[in-house]
Amino acid sequence: MSRKQIYEKLADVFEDVFDQRIALNDRITARDVEGWDSLTHIILISAVEDEFGVKMDMKSVQRLTNVGAMVDLIEELLAK
Amino acid sequence: MDCFNYPVDSKMLLRKKIQIKKELLSANTSFLEKKIAVLGGSTTGEIVDQLELFLLNEGIRPIFYQSEYAQYWQDAMFGNQVLDSFQPDIVYIHTSWRNIPAFPTVSGSREETNLLLEDTYQHFERMWEKLSERFQCPIIQDNFDRPGWRLLGNRDIYDYRGRTNFIVRLNQMLYQYADEHSSFFVNDVDYLAASYGLDEWSNPKYWHMYGYSLCLEGIPCLAGSVANIIKSIFGKNKKVLVCDLDNTLWDGAVGEVGVEGIQIGVELPLGRIYYEFQQYLRELKSIGVLLAVNSKNDESNALAGLNHPDGVLRPEDFVSIMANWENKDRNMQAIADGLRLGTDSFVFIDDQPAEREIVRQASLGIAIPNTDHVEQYLSAIDRSGYFEVTSLSEDDLSRTDMYRANAGRAQLQEGAESYDAFLRSLKMKATVREFEPICFQRIAQLTNKSSQFNLTTLRCSESDIQKMQEADDYLCLYGRLEDQFGDNGIVSVVAGQIIKNELHMRLWLMSCRVLKRDMESAMLDTLVRDALKIGLDRVIGYYYPTSKNSMVKDFYGRMGFQKTDEDSSGNTVWKLTLKEYSFRHPAIDIRR
């Protein structure tokens, strides 16, 4: 799956979780999105795992500082 | 909404909770408002959000108080201004084994462990006493789930030093308290964890990263369980379980295979699973759930099935038996009128998705679990908590007798039809074709199995069917019907012999699983087109009565034929002049 395709799917996940369409890019962080608090973050991780059919371990989840890092991790897990 | 049906769709409930909440709020205008204090020993954020969805789905709009992280005990024991002025209608205490302050050590003596157990129990009991003194409202307390590991292995459950043993004993004390206090309810988390799967339920990642005592996707199950207790306390339990009969209470259709042909009883696997299900329904009746029948059947067939010697349930176990050819949504209303209950207190089980859909689209507020396969029936009802027992009264134990007396007074009502709209929404597609070798087996089988919608009851072997297909003087069609819920397979067969300019119908039958879908119109429209194409002028229909096919006695008349003959045993002959036929155009996309 290309980075662009990952972004497309990711946008669907964000739309469901935050109930609004969000223009995503590498630099977006939780601070930039209304409603992206710690509670919602857990749901987001779980929905992303489900959408891409991957499992993110605790250590990788801790590294997710922005959307770019999330896409990196998805790419990495899909490549396995 | 389907995501609340067992098994709950946790992923959907978490991911789309904002949209789901909006939908629930807009679907109802008369919510019962209740104040619920959630006192947590761990994170409760998502638990509250999910509990809100489940309660809204039950018609209860909750207002929440949430304790600060893990402050359940402090809040309960010492109170605080916000909680005191909140004045809850319900207190829910969400704790887990991680909130047990101390566990026995392997070096501790039996006496020390007993003292520790008593101390631990008192920690909780003092809190419950304080809460009921302060708020005089029902309290719901989670029991303790088991940790994901066992230091002593199998010994952990029975050795007094085992953690599991300690938890089991603590739970017993909690149950004793519940048994003695009618406003105290245990939420059986131990069971939920077991049924969910303890390995995933207790995944430590959720505790260490987020402070949740269980996994994220287990939270909707937990919330659903708490919501069941709450709605039951506030009188929003379901009251009536309405059952289809054929393939719902036994395997097979009495109208097709006769009462001796259905499977029910302990002899065979299918019979056994239906037997167990019937036993469960009779036990439901014993706790005050009313049972009713809503079946597309002749009443005599329904009663014959319920009187099967190897079955459990008997006609007198039901407060209402609607076995007729009326649409099921209409029957629901009639059952409700007879019992003087709202249809929103009903649960409906039927093996046929399309029948469930008819009832769903009538928007009667009836709960409709997923019951496609017999092995799901029992858990679909049991796990949904429709009849959650928060008390058990004398009334509950004799409820069926009361209602049976009322039911006799009810009458069937006639009203406006909106059935056409339902048929259109099914998005039906029919494939109507001449007999083909690949279908011979199924066509022959249909001629041997169909008894109710069968005009001539001509039983055929595969080679009989092949002969018809090869004969120059036969026009033979079979029909397959699909709808948005799936493929019903080949469900109708019509075959006629051409004599001069007339088509004499030798076979006309349809499977009862597609009754009232207008498939008969699709077959006739196609037959007329084909007959006109080869230059015929008339179709001659024959009806030969049997003990099972009375439902099609007037079939030809309904389809626009004229009766030309009738003999003393009720055999009738009908004529249709093709040029005068007005096409029926059913709401079915017909493919050739």
List the single residue in B15, B49, B210 with the smallest CB-CB distance to A16.
B15
At B300-313, the pLDDT tens digits run 999 999 999 999 99
Comparing alpha-carbon positions, the chain B residue that sits nearest to A47 is B15
Instruction: With beta carbons less than 8 A apart as the criterion, state whether B170 and B100 touch.
Output: yes
What Å distances lie between residue B69 and A47, B72, B80, CA to CA? 25, 8, 15
B119 vs B363 pLDDT, higher one? B119
Comparing alpha-carbon positions, the chain B residue that sits nearest to A16 is B16
**In A, which residues are within 8 Å of B205 by CB distance?**
58
Average pLDDT over residues B79-97: 95
Cβ atoms < 10 Å from Cβ of B38: 23
Please give the DSSP secondary-structure letter assigned to residue B435: -
Substitution target in B3, B11, B217 with the highest count of A β-carbons within 10 Å is: B11
The runs of H, that is alpha helices, within B317-397 are 328-339, 353-361, 374-382, 394-397
Least confident of B226-240, B260-274, B393-407: B393-407
**Contact at CB, A58 and B217, closer than 8 angstroms:** no
Query: Is it the case that residue A68 has pLDDT exceeding 60?
Result: yes
At B330-342, the pLDDT tens digits run 999 999 887 877 8
List the single residue in B11, B19, B46 with the smallest CB-CB distance to A50.
B11
What would the two tokens of residue B39 be?
């006192």
Query: Is it the case that residue B406 has pLDDT exceeding 60?
Result: no
The runs of H, that is alpha helices, within B287-342 are 299-306, 328-339
**Contact at CB, B14 and A47, closer than 8 angstroms:** yes
List the single residue in A19, A43, A58 with the smallest CB-CB distance to B14.
A43
Average pLDDT over residues B56-78: 95
**Contact at CB, B209 and A61, closer than 8 angstroms:** yes
Comparing alpha-carbon positions, the chain B residue that sits nearest to A41 is B210
Q: Residue B463's pLDDT is what?
A: 81
In terms of average pLDDT, the best of B249-253, B339-343, B395-399, B464-468 is B249-253
Q: Residue B409's pLDDT is what?
A: 28
Instruction: With beta carbons less than 8 A apart as the criterion, state whether A64 and A21 touch.
Output: no
Q: Residue B393's pLDDT is what?
A: 65
At B132-144, the pLDDT tens digits run 999 989 999 999 9
CB contact B326 to A (< 8 Å) = no
Q: How many CB pairs under 8 A join A and B?
A: 35
Query: Which H/E stretch holds residue B221?
Result: helix B219-233
At B528-583, the pLDDT tens digits run 999 999 999 999 999 999 887 999 999 999 999 999 999 999 999 999 999 999 99
**Contact at CB, A16 and B46, closer than 8 angstroms:** no
Q: Residue A3's pLDDT is what?
A: 95
**Contact at CB, B217 and A38, closer than 8 angstroms:** no
CB contact B210 to A (< 8 Å) = yes
CATH ID of B428-591, from 3.30.750.24, 3.20.20.150, 1.10.8.50, 3.40.630.30: 3.40.630.30
Query: Is it the case that residue B150 has pLDDT exceeding 80?
Result: yes
Map out the domains of chain A with their CATH numbers: 3-79 (1.10.1200.10)
Comparing alpha-carbon positions, the chain B residue that sits nearest to A62 is B209
**In B, which residues are within 8 Å of A58 by CB distance?**
205, 208-209
B85 vs B416 pLDDT, higher one? B85
At A6-46, the pLDDT tens digits run 999 999 999 999 999 999 999 999 999 999 999 999 999 99
Supply the ipTM of this predicted assembly: 0.96
**In B, which residues are within 8 Å of A61 by CB distance?**
209
List the single residue in A18, A19, A39 with the smallest CB-CB distance to B45.
A39
**In A, which residues are within 8 Å of B208 by CB distance?**
58
Shortest alpha-carbon distance between residue B390 and chain A (Å): 32
Question: Hey, is A54 helix, strand or coil?
Answer: coil
**In A, which residues are within 8 Å of B19 by CB distance?**
16, 19
CB contact B553 to A (< 8 Å) = no
Domain chopping of chain B, boundaries = 2-233, 240-417, 428-591
Q: Residue B403's pLDDT is what?
A: 62
Average pLDDT over residues B224-240: 92
Q: Residue B401's pLDDT is what?
A: 67
Comparing alpha-carbon positions, the chain B residue that sits nearest to A37 is B45
Instruction: With beta carbons less than 8 A apart as the criterion, state whether B292 and B240 touch.
Output: yes
**Contact at CB, B19 and A46, closer than 8 angstroms:** no
CB contact B46 to A (< 8 Å) = yes
- In chain A, how long is the greatest CA-to-CA distance? 33
B417 vs B465 pLDDT, higher one? B465
Query: Is it the case that residue B453 has pLDDT exceeding 50?
Result: yes
CATH ID of B240-417, from 3.40.1160.10, 3.40.50.1970, 3.30.360.10, 3.40.50.1000: 3.40.50.1000
Q: Residue B363's pLDDT is what?
A: 87
List the single residue in A16, A50, A58 with the smallest CB-CB distance to B16.
A16
At B484-537, the pLDDT tens digits run 766 778 899 999 999 999 999 999 999 876 888 899 999 999 999 999 999 999
List the single residue in A17, A58, A61 with the smallest CB-CB distance to B15.
A17
At CB < 8 Å, which residues of chain A contact B? 13, 16-19, 38-39, 42-43, 46-47, 50, 58, 61
CB contact B364 to A (< 8 Å) = no
Q: At B402, is the pLDDT very low, low, confident or very high (cuts 50, 70, 90)?
A: low
* Per-residue buried b or exposed e for B164-201, using 16+ beta carbons within 10 Å of the residue's own CB: bbbbbbbbebbeebbeeeeebbbbbbbebbeebeeeeb
Query: Which H/E stretch holds residue B205?
Result: helix B204-210
List the single residue in B15, B46, B49 with the smallest CB-CB distance to A47.
B15
Q: Residue B415's pLDDT is what?
A: 34
**Contact at CB, A43 and B216, closer than 8 angstroms:** yes
**Do B240-417 and B2-233 have the same topology in CATH?**
yes
Comparing alpha-carbon positions, the chain A residue that sits nearest to B209 is A58
Shortest alpha-carbon distance between residue A3 and chain B (Å): 23
Q: How far apart are CA B306 and CA B259, in angstroms?
A: 9
At B115-133, the pLDDT tens digits run 999 999 999 999 999 999 9
State percent of chain B over pLDDT 70.
95
Q: What is the CATH number of domain B2-233?
A: 3.40.50.1110
